[in-house]
């Protein structure tokens, strides 16, 4: 099966050379095209792409949408498999893409996503541990009752999907989502009887070091997503968040990670307030 890689870029001058090199070194796969979509800015991303003789599409900031930008590129593709990645992932393995796509090619599942490992010892070290364990797993509709909202978890920081299934399900339904477009499509897959695999052997390094304000904004957008898609709230969303908080604190204490322990309360409060305020926003989805 052929593969198209779709990667939105914004102020990516510090990422693009290393990222493109890591994509080109992938083995045992047939890459049809790497599609870079650059949101216009004042940095040197487009200059670097031109210097490297790499094709790209440029859009204005007002045109960018986490869901619609990806949806448009996927619908324009003629490959068998669509791979979504983000600009800040670090890929060190030549078989990352092979392990991400082989189970789709072999008919095991219709969507996959990679294991993510944090780049430092902040809070995301522990969120990554919980969300991306060492063991792979295939999820189906049968797992929803037990797992609740976690049955629909995935991440398009590094994910793959059969293009014909994406088209059949109408992608993101033309909705402009502030975040969580990966959860939206995974929900549609699971509830329509398709299979989603977490591929622990397809590894990327990916994490952020958000401050309190950035964390608030991130979860405000997440709250907006759950308001737009209120049907998801019945799947134990609050319980999942509480379980995450307990895990982070427990692991930080075990590691004597004082940086995380001291930051734990303000971090969790900013998440909670951001989520609640996002759910209360009056903007139309």
Residue 234 pLDDT = 87
Residue 283 pLDDT = 62
Instruction: Tell me the pairing of strands 111-117 and 196-205.
Output: parallel
pLDDT tens for 149-168 read 999 999 999 999 999 999 99
pTM across the whole model: 0.94
CATH superfamily of 2-205: Spore Coat Polysaccharide Biosynthesis Protein SpsA; Chain A (3.90.550.10)
Q: Tokens 């996959």, residue?
A: 112
Beta-carbon count within 10 A of 145 CB: 9
Per DSSP, the residues of 162-179 read EHHHHHHTTTTTT---SS
Residue range(s) occupied by CATH 3.90.550.10 in the chain: 2-205
pLDDT tens for 242-259 read 888 999 999 999 999 999
Beta-carbon count within 10 A of 277 CB: 14
Provide the β-strand partners of residue 83: 5, 160
**Could you give the CA distance from residue 213 to residue 122 in angstroms, rounded to a whole number?**
16
Give the mean pLDDT of 105-123.
96
Give the mean pLDDT of 168-188.
96
């Amino acid at each position: 099966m052929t593969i198209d890689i779709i990667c939105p870029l914004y102020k990516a001058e510090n990422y693009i050379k290393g990222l493109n090199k890591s994509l080109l070194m992938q083995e045992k796969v047939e890459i049809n095209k790497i599609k870079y979509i650059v949101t216009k800015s004042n940095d040197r991303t487009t200059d670097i792409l031109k210097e490297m003789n790499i094709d790209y599409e440029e859009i204005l900031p007002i045109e960018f949408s986490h869901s619609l930008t990806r949806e448009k590129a996927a619908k324009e593709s003629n490959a068998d498999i669509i791979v979504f990645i983000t600009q800040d992932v670090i890929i060190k393995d030549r078989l990352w893409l092979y392990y991400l796509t082989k189970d789709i090619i072999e008919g095991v599942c219709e969507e996959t996503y990679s294991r993510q490992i944090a780049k430092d010892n902040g809070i995301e070290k522990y969120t990554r541990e919980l969300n991306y364990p060492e063991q792979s797993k295939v999820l189906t509709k049968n797992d929803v009752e037990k797992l609740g909202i976690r049955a629909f978890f995935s991440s398009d920081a590094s994910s793959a999907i059969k293009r014909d299934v994406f088209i059949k399900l109408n992608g993101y339904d033309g909705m402009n989502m502030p975040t969580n477009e990966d959860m939206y499509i995974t929900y549609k897959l699971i509830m329509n009887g398709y299979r989603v695999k977490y591929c622990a052997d397809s590894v990327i390094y990916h994490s952020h070091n958000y401050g309190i304000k950035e964390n608030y904004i991130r979860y405000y957008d997440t709250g907006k997503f759950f308001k737009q898609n209120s049907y998801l709230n019945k799947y134990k969303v609050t319980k999942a968040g509480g379980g995450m908080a307990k895990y982070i604190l427990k692991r930080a204490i075990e590691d004597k990670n004082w940086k995380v322990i001291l930051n734990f309360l303000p971090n969790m409060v900013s998440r909670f307030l951001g989520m609640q305020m996002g759910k209360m926003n009056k903007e139309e989805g």
